Every structure is written in structure tokens, then in C-alpha cells.
């Protein structure tokens, strides 16, 4: 079986009250204000555990894709649960180091950056992952055989939820084409580059195990030409549920079948290698909730709008990717269902959810957007000079503030008044 259906989320309705780890979500909103991101730490820990169990038959290394959510407390929680980290900028690397990750635990996979940033990554001791021939040649000229590197390949496989989030197709800016393998080998030989890892990441929301096995087949065929490999990195892209009944990646099926193929490969390769994966959304998406307050309920001849105190500045995925986020009225769980279009308070058409059946929404009601843990705060902005929300982590049955809400001073920081 390649995919499974999702049947539950961790936020629970108990005696008419929505709770996370037994804490009233509405009370969290009252304590910290709205809008507010709330993360369930136990869900993050359980997702890491599920991947470890799924790949228990091989030497797996989990590298959390930090771009999904970079709060230092989240990074520390990930580390405490035995995962490493994948970063895409030198700033993310510095955050990871500050959270306690050792340089050897950090995979650095930048794209289209100045070579100076690559040099900084080497100086920090990170595992550097290179994804274009120009940078690979510069790397070889500077370091020769003194610093190993990983190479990111583009497998020319269209995978994932849609074209915008697929990164392994032929027109993607990511990775060196598998059809340029000869050029990679020529550079490696010319500069004696030690390539100790091969990497493929084809995108997000991949439900089928067969996609990963196709990637594996490509990688295994190429890997025989690289004698110094330490690991092969299969990226991430594991699909999580956005609503009841969604198809999701069956990580246990994936772990079983990919681990079996991987072991067969490294036996023919001649020595044992590490299998790396890079989950981002899989670890934090379902753990996160964006809690907002309904400012206005606006009935028109064609629609009824529920206008909230948030918008595309806090959750851009519906506008950027046409992403679906389930919305719940936690203030009126027993109310009659009606159809609403939920919009933000930004001076743009920022529809967060169109034509949604919600329990009757009244002005002042709290609405919750699910799956706000990944690419929620990390893609948030101060557009319209609105403040970014606070972040709260629920851990060990306690709701703890892990980032305060922006203030006017935050908006002015860095500005220089020349008059």
C-alpha cells in the first residue's frame, strides 16, 4: 500500500471545549492575544518517532527542513527528539548552531547564493550540498580534496501536489540535471573533489512510495561512480493531511520498501551507507494552529464574509499555492452550520478559505486554521505594517510563549530617519 488516509488531528473537542494537551485553546488566545500561532510539541515529537520507527531497519538520519519553522524553541525540541537539521541559508545555519546542533548535524543546501555563503558554510563545518556546476567548479578550485561535499541532482521527475511545489522536474531551478552527470564527473576528477553524498528532493506532498523508489533507482545507478559516498539523501516531501480523509504518505510502507532497496544497493556498493531524509512539513504542519478573532461578519447579496484579524501576512499559503487549510469555529462548536468566505484584514483580496461550512460565526468568535505549523510564521510578513503574531508552544501540558508579538519598535527597527 503506497498511501493511507488520515483520520484525526491532535486538537480535540472535549465537553464542548477545544483543547491541546488538555489546555483550552480559547484560554491560550485570551492569555496571549490574537492572532497567535499555537504548536503542539507532542505532535512534533510523535512525528519524529514515527519516522525513526518506519526506517528502523536502516541507518537513517532525519534532517529537519528548518525553513518550515525556524523558531529556536522548535529547533531545540527537534534536536531533543534525536533529529538533525537541513538549512538553506547561512542565517538558518546560525540559528541551528545557536539551538545546539553540532556542525556535523547540519546539512546546508543553498540555492543561487553567492559563493561567499558557501565559504561561510565550510568555515562553520557544515555538510555542504551543491546544486549547480558553476558552484561545484568554484568549490573544487578552492578546496580540492580537502573538503568533501554533497551534490544535489535533478532527476527530471514531476512529483508533488502541484508545479509550484515540485522541485525535481526538468524546468526546476534546483539541482544539477542527471543528464549532466558527465560534467559532474569531469569536475570531480579535474579538481579531485571528494563527493561524499548524493541528494535528491523532488518537492512536497508526495503520497506514493513508488516516487521515492524511482528516485532511488536513479540514485543507485549513479552512485556506483562515486567511490567516497558516506550517505544518500532522499529529501522529504511526505504528504500530511489537510482535511479528514486526505491521502497521506504511508511512511511505514515507504520505510520498509526504501530501506530494503537501500540495503541491497549498499551491499553491491561494497560498504554500509547512511540513509538521510529531510522532513519539514511532516514534522510541524499538523502540530501548528493559527488562532484568529472574527472582526466582522459581512453579508452581501451573494456571499457572507467572516473577516478576521489576520490575513495573507500571516498565512500566505492559500494565496500562494491555493492551499487548503481546515477552519474551525472553536467559540461555537454546537452552532448551526452556514457557508462563509473567510477573509483577512489586509488591503488585498486575501481569501483564506472560500465557501466553507462553519458553525455559525459571530463577531468576536475565535476561528482556528489547522496545518499552520509549516510555512506559517516562517513566511509571515509585516505587510500593511501589521504586527506578526506571537508563537506559543504547548509542551508537557503547559502553554509557553516562544516568541512575543511584534511591536511598533520592531517595525521601526533598522529604519533611519534622515529628516
Instruction: Give the DSSP per-residue string, 331-342.
Output: T-TTSPEEEEEE
- Cα–Cα distances in Å, from 14 out to 11, 43, 94, 205, 400? 10, 18, 41, 31, 22
Mean pLDDT of the chain: 93
Output the nine-digit C-alpha cell for 417. Answer: 530617519
Q: What is the pLDDT of residue 6?
A: 45
Average pLDDT on 108-115 reads 95
State residue 219 phi and psi, 5-degree precision: -65, -45
C-alpha 14: how far from chain center: 30
Residue environment code for 145-174, b if the CB has 16+ CB neighbours within 10 A, otherwise e: eeebbbbbbbbbbebbbeeebbbbbeebeb
Asked which of 72-81, 153-162, 208-217, 401-410 is least confident by mean pLDDT, the reply is 153-162
DSSP percent split of the chain into helix, strand, coil, nearest 5 = 35, 25, 40
Percent of the chain with pLDDT over 90: 84
Q: What is the pLDDT of residue 162?
A: 46
Helices then strands, each counted (H, E), the chain: 12, 23
- Cα–Cα distances in Å, from 416 out to 301, 388, 408, 411, 412? 47, 21, 15, 12, 8
Q: What's the CA gap between 216 and 90, in Å, rounded?
A: 29
Query: Cβ contacts of residue 416 below 8 Å, gap of 6+?
Result: none
Identify which has the larger pLDDT, 28 or 243. 28
Average pLDDT on 122-137 reads 97
What is the bridge-based pairing of β-strands 337-343 and 366-370? unpaired
> Helix or strand or coil: residue 59?
coil
Query: Quick one: residue 28, left, alpha or beta (phi over 0 = left, psi -120 to 50 = alpha)?
Result: alpha
Output the nine-digit C-alpha cell for 343. Answer: 477573509
Q: What's the CA gap between 365 and 216, in Å, rounded?
A: 49
- Beta-bridged to residue 292, according to DSSP, are 367
Residue closest to 359 by CA, chosen among 338, 389, 378: 338
- Fold of the 3-38+285-408 domain: Lyase, Ornithine Decarboxylase; Chain A, domain 1 (2.40.37)
Q: What is the pLDDT of residue 7?
A: 40
Where residue 29 falls among pLDDT bands split at 50, 70, 90?
A: very high
Where residue 171 falls among pLDDT bands split at 50, 70, 90?
A: low
Asked which of 1-15, 232-246, 291-305 is least confident by mean pLDDT, the reply is 1-15
Q: What is the pLDDT of residue 182?
A: 95
Q: Look up the CATH architecture of domain 42-284.
A: Alpha-Beta Barrel (3.20)
Average pLDDT on 361-387 reads 98
Is the torsion defined by CA of 195, 197, 203, 208 positive or negative?
positive
Where residue 14 falls among pLDDT bands split at 50, 70, 90?
A: very high
Can you give 226-264 as a three-state secondary structure string?
Answer: CCCCCEEECCCCECCCCCCCCEEECHHHHHHHHHHHHHH
Q: Is 347 a catalytic residue?
A: yes
Average pLDDT on 137-143 reads 98
Average pLDDT on 341-350 reads 97
Q: What's the CA gap between 33 and 236, in Å, rounded?
A: 34
Where residue 170 falls among pLDDT bands split at 50, 70, 90?
A: low
Burial of 205 (0-12, 13-18, 19+ CB in 10 A): buried
Average pLDDT on 126-149 reads 97
Instruction: Indicate whether 178 pLDDT > 90.
Output: no
Percent of the chain with pLDDT over 70: 94
CB 361 within 8 A of CB 338: yes
Average pLDDT on 343-353 reads 97
Q: What is the pLDDT of residue 4?
A: 52
Query: Domain residue spans in the chain?
Result: 3-38+285-408, 42-284
Q: What is the pLDDT of residue 155?
A: 83
CB 272 within 8 A of CB 266: yes
Q: What's the CA gap between 37 and 66, in Å, rounded?
A: 17
Output the nine-digit C-alpha cell for 64. Answer: 529537519
Instruction: Indicate whether 5 pLDDT > 60.
Output: no
Amino acid at each position: 500500500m503506497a498511501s493511507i488516509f488520515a483520520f484525526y488531528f491532535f486538537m480535540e473537542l472535549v465537553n464542548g471545549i477545544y483543547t491541546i494537551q488538555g489546555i483550552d485553546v480559547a484560554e491560550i488566545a485570551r492569555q496571549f492575544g490574537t492572532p497567535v500561532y499555537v504548536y503542539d510539541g507532542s505532535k512534533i515529537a510523535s512525528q519524529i518517532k514515527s519516522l525513526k520507527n518506519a526506517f528502523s531497519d536502516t541507518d537513517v538520519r532525519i534532517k529537519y527542513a528548518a525553513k518550515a519553522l525556524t523558531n529556536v524553541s522548535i529547533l531545540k525540541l527537534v534536536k531533543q527528539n534525536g533529529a538533525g537539521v537541513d538549512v538553506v541559508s547561512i542565517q538558518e545555519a546560525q540559528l541551528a548552531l545557536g539551538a545546539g546542533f553540532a556542525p556535523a548535524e547540519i546539512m546546508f543546501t543553498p540555492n543561487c547564493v553567492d559563493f561567499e555563503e558557501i565559504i561561510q558554510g565550510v568555515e562553520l563545518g557544515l555538510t555542504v550540498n551543491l546544486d549547480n556546476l558553476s558552484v561545484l567548479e568554484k568549490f573544487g578550485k578552492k578546496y580540492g580534496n580537502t573538503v568533501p561535499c554533497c551534490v544535489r541532482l535533478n532527476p527530471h521527475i514531476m512529483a508533488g501536489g502541484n508545479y509550484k511545489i515540485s522541485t525535481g522536474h526538468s524546468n526546476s531551478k534546483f539541482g544539477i540535471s542527471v543528464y549532466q552527470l558527465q560534467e559532474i564527473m569531469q569536475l570531480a576528477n579535474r579538481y579531485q573533489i571528494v563527493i561524499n553524498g548524493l541528494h535528491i528532493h523532488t518537492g512536497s506532498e508526495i503520497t506514493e512510495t513508488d516516487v521515492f523508489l524511482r528516485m532511488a533507482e536513479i540514485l543507485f545507478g549513479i552512485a556506483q561512480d562515486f567511490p567516497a559516498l558516506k550517505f544518500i539523501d532522499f529529501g522529504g516531501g511526505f504528504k500530511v493531511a489537510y482535511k479528514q480523509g486526505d491521502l497521506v504518505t504511508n511512511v511505514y510502507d515507504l520505510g520498509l520498501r526504501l530501506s530494503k532497496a537501500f540495503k541491497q544497493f549498499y551491499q553491491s556498493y561494497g560498504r554500509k551507507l547512511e540513509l538521510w531524509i529531510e522532513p519539514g512539513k511532516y514534522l510541524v504542519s499538523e502540530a501548528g494552529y493559527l488562532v484568529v478573532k472574527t472582526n466582522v461578519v459581512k453579508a452581501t447579496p451573494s456571499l457572507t464574509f467572516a473577516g478576521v484579524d489576520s490575513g495573507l501576512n500571516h498565512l500566505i499559503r492559500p494565496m500562494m499555492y491555493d492551499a487548503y487549510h481546515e477552519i474551525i469555529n472553536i467559540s461555537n462548536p454546537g452552532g448551526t452550520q452556514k457557508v462563509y468566505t473567510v477573509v483577512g484584514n489586509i488591503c488585498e483580496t486575501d481569501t483564506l478559505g472560500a465557501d466553507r461550512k462553519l458553525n455559525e460565526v459571530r463577531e468576536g468568535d475565535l476561528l482556528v486554521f489547522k496545518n499552520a505549523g509549516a510555512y506559517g510564521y516562517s513566511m509571515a510578513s509585516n505587510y500593511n505594517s501589521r504586527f506578526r503574531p506571537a508563537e506559543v508552544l504547548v509542551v508537557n501540558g503547559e502553554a509557553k510563549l516562544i516568541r512575543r508579538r511584534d511591536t511598533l519598535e520592531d517595525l521601526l527597527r533598522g529604519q533611519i530617519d534622515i529628516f
